[in-house]
């Protein structure tokens, strides 16, 4: 039982880190003080980062549900 509580704490910390990191990425994407628009390479990079964030949340949730997140 204690191991499950520890896993939930690790998952909550993972989600907190992801929220902070996502906020930074979104702030970069919608920075209105920028004089020029984002280049296509920057758009692809930010899209890949967002996709990685989504995948990491899914993997973390599946590991927690399966009991492998410790």
Domain of residue 6 covers 2-66
Closest CA to 58 of 2, 22, 18: 18
Distance between CA atoms of residues 38 and 21, nearest Å: 19
50 Cβ contact partners less than 8 Å away, ≥ 6 residues apart: 22, 25
Can you give the pLDDT at residue 2?
63
Can you give the pLDDT at residue 68?
63
Q: Taking the model in full, what pTM does it have?
A: 0.61
Which parts of the chain sit beneath pLDDT 50? none
Can you give the pLDDT at residue 4?
61
Q: Could you read off the pLDDT of 42-55 as tens digits, one per residue?
A: 888 888 888 888 88
Report the number of distinct structural domains present in the chain: 1
Can you give the pLDDT at residue 25?
80
Query: Between vectors from CA 61 to CA 15 and to CA 59, what angle results, nearest 5°?
Result: 95
């Amino acid at each position: 039982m204690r191991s499950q509580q520890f896993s939930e704490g690790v998952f909550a910390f993972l989600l907190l880190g992801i929220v902070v990191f996502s906020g930074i990425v979104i702030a970069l994407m919608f920075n209105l003080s920028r004089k020029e628009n984002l280049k296509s390479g920057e758009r692809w990079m930010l899209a890949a980062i967002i996709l990685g964030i989504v995948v990491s949340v899914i993997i973390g949730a599946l590991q927690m549900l399966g009991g492998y997140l410790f």
